[in-house]
């Protein structure tokens, strides 16, 4: 499996829905997280998008020279920019990063935010624009000179002079729970992403996208977006989950849910339905906790438990066809280390951290009494 981490470009902290324990977004802090993810062996990092975030492309560009192997899953926003402009930008970042760019196609789910960006289209219309956008984008990235006239987009003689390093283009990822999203994934994308729903619901999505992709003569890989709260014991993990939301009051939850209600995103509707704004039944499936979604938009569920339990739940998703896990945890710097140290040894992952056998200070820890090398626990 490929395990990603997350760059919190909209802020980070120890608690949700409060300024208590909050951390500002800074180049220094983002660098720490990106370099930790790189050193620990994460496959890549997701960089979020939206008006509440720092710009994903600018952040990715800043992180490229600070990392060595880490891949960057960066938002591509059809409807906001032209497909040829996006192709030039993506090709540049892919070349300068040494082929470490991945593209997360985001159609937008908040009508108020879309209108602020000049996009006055309904849900299915946005997917129609994205279909035309990707048709042009993929052909240009593959080296074609493109004439195209659709309902929403038109280009004449569109071409890309400097191709990306990854041929024919950096891999395309997409999330979405609506029929329109599934159809688009089947037609254009390399990886379909779901937010963290119970396994049975995820299995239904995978089956639908697979069926649609087969009808297009294509195959699609699958990934899942989750938060994680892992501790050495289950009791400590659930205590940490409760601590994460201990500053939330009913007023903050109600305000957040009212704001999410204006979204026309099917995925956001499904996230909200997992808890209905209530905090008395948040474990919606074994070790799958919906507390994050009380106030956070988008991915709102977390895997909670001891290392072996969390690894087992992840393996249950892989049995459904998931091979990509895009994870996050609060605070993101500490949790990147915690998850890698506690759970990576229990997973079969596609990328490992650097070989530290020649490092005199590790990986055995601090020498006991200046003379004795500590041993790993046998438990």
Q: According to the model, what pLDDT value does residue 97 have?
A: 98
Q: What is the pLDDT of residues 19-53, one digit of tens each?
A: 888 998 999 999 999 999 999 999 999 999 988 89
Per the structure block, which two tokens stand in for 244?
């994460």
**Kind and range of the H or E run holding 185:** helix 179-188
User: How far apart are the C-alpha atoms of 192 and 181, rounded to whole Å?
Assistant: 9
Q: What is the pTM of this model?
A: 0.92
User: How far apart are the C-alpha atoms of 134 and 326, rounded to whole Å?
Assistant: 23
Domains, in order of start, for the chain: 2-346 (3.20.20.30)
- Point out which residues pair with 194 in neighbouring strands: 224
Q: How many alpha carbons lie under 13 Å from residue 99 in its C-beta half-sphere?
A: 5
User: How far apart are the C-alpha atoms of 206 and 275, rounded to whole Å?
Assistant: 23
8 Å CB contact between 100 and 92: no
pLDDT at 359 over 70: no
Q: According to the model, what pLDDT value does residue 259 have?
A: 84
8 Å CB contact between 164 and 74: no
In the chain, the percentage of residues whose pLDDT exceeds 70 is 94
Phi and psi of 283, rounded to 5°?
-85, 95
Per the structure block, which two tokens stand in for 351?
């990328």
Q: What is the pLDDT of residues 186-237, one digit of tens each?
A: 999 999 999 999 999 999 999 999 999 999 999 999 999 999 999 999 999 9
> In the predicted model, what is the mean pLDDT of the chain?
92
User: How far apart are the C-alpha atoms of 314 and 215, rounded to whole Å?
Assistant: 29
Query: Which residue reads 């997992």 in tokens?
Result: 274
Average pLDDT over residues 171-190: 95
Q: How far is CA 249 from the centre of its chain?
A: 27
Q: According to the model, what pLDDT value does residue 298 have?
A: 84
Listing DSSP states for 293-356 in one string gives GGT-SS---EEEE-HHHHHHHHHHHHHHTEEEEEEE-SSHHHHHHHHHHHTGGGS--S--PPP-
**Residue whose C-alpha is closest to residue 292's, from 222, 240, 333:** 240
């Amino acid at each position: 499996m490929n395990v990603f981490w997350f760059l919190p470009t909209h802020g980070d902290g120890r608690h949700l829905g409060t300024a208590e324990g909050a951390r500002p977004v800074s180049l220094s802090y983002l660098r720490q997280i990106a370099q930790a993810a790189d050193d620990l062996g994460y496959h890549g990092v997701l960089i979020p998008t939206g008006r509440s975030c720092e710009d994903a492309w600018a952040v990715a560009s800043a992180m490229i020279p600070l990392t060595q192997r880490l891949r960057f899953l960066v938002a591509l926003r059809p409807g906001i920019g032209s497909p040829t402009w996006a192709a030039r930008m993506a090709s540049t970042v892919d070349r300068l990063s040494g082929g470490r760019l991945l593209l997360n196609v985001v159609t937008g789910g908040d009508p108020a935010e879309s209108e602020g960006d000049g996009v006055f289209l309904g849900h299915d219309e946005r997917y129609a624009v994205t279909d035309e956008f990707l048709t042009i984008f993929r052909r240009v990235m593959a080296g074609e000179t493109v004439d195209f006239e659709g309902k929403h987009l038109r280009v004449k003689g569109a071409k890309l002079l400097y191709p990306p390093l990854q041929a024919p283009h950096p891999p395309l990822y997409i999330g979405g729970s609506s029929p329109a999203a599934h159809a688009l994934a089947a037609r254009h994308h390399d990886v379909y992403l779901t937010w963290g729903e119970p396994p049975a619901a995820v299995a239904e999505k995978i089956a639908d996208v697979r069926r649609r992709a087969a009808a297009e003569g294509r195959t699609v890989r699958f990934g899942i977006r989750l938060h994680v709260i892992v501790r050495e014991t289950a009791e400590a993990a659930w205590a940490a989950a409760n601590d994460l939301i201990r500053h939330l009051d009913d007023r903050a939850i109600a305000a957040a849910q009212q704001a999410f209600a204006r979204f026309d995103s099917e995925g956001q509707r499904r996230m909200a339905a997992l808890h209905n704004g209530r905090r008395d039944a948040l474990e919606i499936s074994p070790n799958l906790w919906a507390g994050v979604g009380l106030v956070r938009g988008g991915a709102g569920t977390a895997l909670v438990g001891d290392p072996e339990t969390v690894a087992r739940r992840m393996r249950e998703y892989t049995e459904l066809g998931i091979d990509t896990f895009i994870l996050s945890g609060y605070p993101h710097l500490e949790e990147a280390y915690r998850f890698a140290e506690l759970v990576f040894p229990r997973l079969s992952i596609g990328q490992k951290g650097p070989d530290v056998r020649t490092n005199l200070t590790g990986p055995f820890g601090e020498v006991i009494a200046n003379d004795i090398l500590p041993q790993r626990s046998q438990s």
